[in-house]
Copies of this chain bind each other. A is one copy, B any other.
Amino acid sequence: MKFYTDEEIIRHYKMKDAIHDVTQGLDALNNNLIKVKERTVINAEEDNVMLYMPAINLQKQFSAIKVISIFPDNPAHNLPTSQGVTLLTELATGKSIATLEASYLTRLRTGAMTGIATNKLARRDAHVLGVIGTGGMAFEQVLGVLEVRAINKILLFNRTEQKAHQFKEKLVEFGVTAEIEIVSDVDTLTKQADIINCATKSEQNVYQHMNLKVGMHVNGVGSYLPHMREIDIDTIEQAAVIAIDDVAGAEHEAGEFIHASHAGRFNFSEAIELKDLINMDITREDTDFTVFKSVDAAYYDLFVAIGAYEKLK
């Protein structure tokens, strides 16, 4: 039984790999080669929660279960709110063969989903990326977009501006060569960007739709609870295409979509699920708005855990 830390996985398993493996995995899902069961939740003390998310991949012949702890008071003790590992079992033999730390892989696969959706939905000539919210999930979201569009300018907005500066440093250190600018108001960002990534825990929309550059593609990976909102509902209402990673999950979790649905301004049946999107040719007008919303689904973790293991073993 091998154990792979985040550091080892980061060194060898990249966004390009994750985009490949998530696409291949969705293809297997479409061919009924992925089986997922509902996650199990056990409440521990206080608001601490343990999640257990099992799935199997009959194409790759692996079982994976991601075990995640979500402990809201952890930051007070200098520990991350969320920690996880994935346990892999070979279906050829029934033998459990590896555990992998899951923090980086969880961020990476979300970034990969953003990359896949952006590739299908954003204008071909998109070259300015705006980032609203430079917290934990934002970095790999940027890498996902960089993988699929020739971005030469990145605009960063964060409520605490100092963190945007740290985020810029991290991008530069990683080797990102696009021009990176920190902006102090969101409108400056939304009027220039061709694509925006939102990754916040906001409870109201983080930009005004009327201030979006026409033809914008919006990625939203924050807003994972019903009371949260980051994408402006006008964008949802006016979008030519809305893609969602997991529609059933979004109906319970994606705050602004739930709100838009209740207000009669959006219907979940209009959304294209990511697994279908990968096989579609989307024709879009240059003036169309498009949206990708990610909530979460266990099979995405399965795809990258297997991919990382195969790369690292």
What residues of chain A have their CB less than 8 Å away from a CB belonging to chain B? 1, 3, 35, 37-38, 40-45, 48, 50, 52, 54-56, 58, 63, 65, 67, 69-71, 74, 77, 79-80, 82-85, 87, 89, 91, 93-96, 99
Question: Does A58 contact B44, Cβ atoms closer than 8 Å?
Answer: yes
Question: Does A35 contact B40, Cβ atoms closer than 8 Å?
Answer: no
With contacts A43-B35, A87-B67 taken as known, whether A48 is within 8 angstroms of B94 at the C-beta atoms is yes
Known contacts A38-B40, A45-B91; can you find 12 more A-B pairs with CB under 8 A? A3-B99, A37-B40, A37-B41, A44-B58, A44-B63, A45-B58, A48-B91, A63-B67, A69-B89, A83-B94, A85-B87, A96-B99
> Please, which residue of chain B has its CB at the minimum distance from the CB of A79?
B93
Question: Does B50 contact A56, Cβ atoms closer than 8 Å?
Answer: yes
* Residues on B with beta carbons closer than 8 Å to the beta carbon of A93: 71, 74, 77, 79, 83
Q: How many copies does the complex hold?
A: 2
A52–B89 CA distance with the chains assembled, in angstroms: 11
Question: Does B44 contact A91, Cβ atoms closer than 8 Å?
Answer: yes
A112–B45 CA distance with the chains assembled, in angstroms: 29
A74–B63 CA distance with the chains assembled, in angstroms: 17
* Residues on B with beta carbons closer than 8 Å to the beta carbon of A48: 91, 94
A93–B63 CA distance with the chains assembled, in angstroms: 26
A74–B56 CA distance with the chains assembled, in angstroms: 19
With contacts A43-B35, A44-B56, A58-B45 taken as known, whether A96 is within 8 angstroms of B67 at the C-beta atoms is yes
A84–B1 CA distance with the chains assembled, in angstroms: 12
A70–B93 CA distance with the chains assembled, in angstroms: 10
* Residues on B with beta carbons closer than 8 Å to the beta carbon of A52: 37, 40, 52, 54, 65
Least distance between A191 CB and chain B CB atoms (Å) = 42
From the candidates B58, B74, B99, name the one contacting A99 in the complex (CB within 8 A). B99
* Residues on B with beta carbons closer than 8 Å to the beta carbon of A54: 40, 42, 50, 52
A3–B80 CA distance with the chains assembled, in angstroms: 23
* Residues on B with beta carbons closer than 8 Å to the beta carbon of A94: 48, 69-71, 74, 79-80, 82-83
* Residues on B with beta carbons closer than 8 Å to the beta carbon of A67: 63, 65, 87, 89, 96
A92–B56 CA distance with the chains assembled, in angstroms: 30
Listed from nearest, the 7 A-B pairs whose CB atoms lie closest are: A69-B94, A71-B94, A85-B96, A1-B3, A52-B54, A37-B40, A83-B94
